[in-house]
Amino acid sequence: MAKKYKKANGLIKRTKLQTQIKKAGVRRISPDALDFLEDVLGRYINKLALLLNDEIMVNGRKTLKRKDILEVLNRLDKKNTGWEI
């Protein structure tokens, strides 16, 4: 017998994700959509962790600080905003 749901991502709690989406105004969420969103967010978190690691390596530190996070997020924000047609 096949499992109904795959194992949830350890970083993101499924119930908290669902409540956040519902608070934003979405009435219902399909299980497939929730699985896909978990996968996307998991990949984004992994990418963010790698960028944060690169940032502290460039600065020559071992400790991640708030300013490092802000700098990486600003850089990602600038990268994602581009020309619109």
3-state secondary structure the chain: CCCCCCCCCCCCCHHHHHHHHHHCCCCCCCHHHHHHHHHHHHHHHHHHHHHHHHHHHHHCCCCCCHHHHHHHHHHHHHHHCCCCC
- Output the pTM of the full model: 0.70
Domain ranges across the chain: 14-80
Name the fold adopted by 14-80.
Answer: Histone, subunit A (1.10.20)
Which tokens is 8 given? 């949830």
Q: What is the pLDDT along the chain (85 residues), one digit of tens a residue?
A: 555 555 556 677 888 889 999 999 999 999 999 989 988 988 989 999 999 999 999 999 999 999 999 999 998 888 776 655 5
